[in-house]
Amino acid sequence: MTSVAILGGTGQQGRALAQRLQHAGLRVTIGSRDPGRARAAVAAWIALAPAVEVADNAAAVAQADVTMLAVPFTFVDPLLEELRPHFKVGSLVVDLIVPVTFAGGKIAMVEVAEGSAAEHVRARLPASVRLDCDEFVCGDSDAARAEAVALVALLPGLRPVDVGALSRARSIEHLTALAIAINRRYKIHDARFRVVGLT
Ligand SMILES: NC(=O)c1ccc[n+]([C@@H]2O[C@H](COP(=O)([O-])OP(=O)(O)OC[C@H]3O[C@@H](n4cnc5c(N)ncnc54)[C@H](OP(=O)(O)O)[C@@H]3O)[C@@H](O)[C@H]2O)c1
């Protein structure tokens, strides 16, 4: 059974993924800086997905075939620096991070020297792991993209769209900022994009 670690799984984005992936039959571990605090934080919803496990970030990564990054962009550098030695050789990293700030209640994209958060993350991962991101799936390895597409396809209601090279993350991350702006303007919570013309 594929083992998935979700770093930041105590947050809004990670929690939704943890529940859905566990219901899809995967072994899911929430990675946290503090597993004790994480268990308390997820106690209310983990009852709905009872097989989800909780571990510290390093232990979660060490046993995972797939690691999903769902932490705020601001904190990803020290986290990856700490975790670099712990990734399983050949594992897949799925990056969900969008480099935005909400200072003063306004959403703004963070300027990332590498072009996108995904490329920033790639530069800080061991060479032995493969990177992909989001329902729009991008990555420089055909095999890694195919694996990520298969994972997304397990989730009811999500359709994976393979958009090619990792540098496409620049467009995807800007689209996510646009979705957040639409949510705010229309006072909704689930603005999404659909590609028409794909069969
Ligand atoms: N929320 C969404 O709808 C959405 C949509 C698309 C993309 N994203 C992206 O997904 C990521 C997570 O979003 P979110 O709203 O779920 O974030 P969040 O709730 O603010 O944070 C998620 C988790 O990150 C961990 N974390 C916080 N500070 C940390 C630090 N200094 N070092 C290491 N870990 C830290 C915490 O887990 P522990 O305390 O357990 O360690 C926290 O529960 C972001 O990059 C965001 O851009 C979010």
Mean per-residue pLDDT, 18-32: 94
- Taking only the tens place, the pLDDT of each residue in 163-186 is 999 999 999 999 999 999 999 999
- Taking only the tens place, the pLDDT of each residue in 89-141 is 999 999 999 999 999 999 999 999 999 999 999 999 999 999 987 899 999 99
For the chain, the farthest-separated pair of C-alpha atoms sits apart, in whole angstroms, at 47
pLDDT of residue 37: 93
Mean per-residue pLDDT, 136-159: 94
For residue 88, the number of C-alpha atoms closer than 13 Å in the C-beta half-sphere is 17
Q: Distance of alpha carbon 54 from its chain centroid, rounded?
A: 17
Residue 190 pLDDT > 90, yes or no?
no
pLDDT band at 50 (very low <50, low <70, confident <90, very high): confident
Distance 16 CA to ligand 1 centre (A): 12
Query: Residues of the chain with pLDDT > 70: what percent?
Result: 100
CB 167 within 8 A of CB 116: yes
Residues 6+ apart with CB under 8 A from 75: none
Exposure b/e, 69-82, CB count within 10 A at least 16 = b: bbbbbeebeebbee
pLDDT of residue 1: 84
Q: Distance of alpha carbon 94 from its chain centroid, rounded?
A: 5
- In the block, residue with structure tokens 């995904």: 118
Tokens of 35: 């597993």
pLDDT of residue 9: 94
Residue nearest to atom 34 of ligand 1 (CA): 71
Query: Does residue 148 line the site of ligand 1, with CB under 6 A?
Result: no
Residue nearest to atom 30 of ligand 1 (CA): 75
Judge if pTM exceeds 0.85. Answer: yes
Rounded (5°) CA angle 97-92-109: 15
Tokens of 138: 């991008």
Query: Does residue 176 line the site of ligand 1, with CB under 6 A?
Result: yes
Residue 80: which of 109, 117, 28 has the closest Cα? 117
pLDDT of residue 45: 87
Residue nearest to atom 23 of ligand 1 (CA): 8
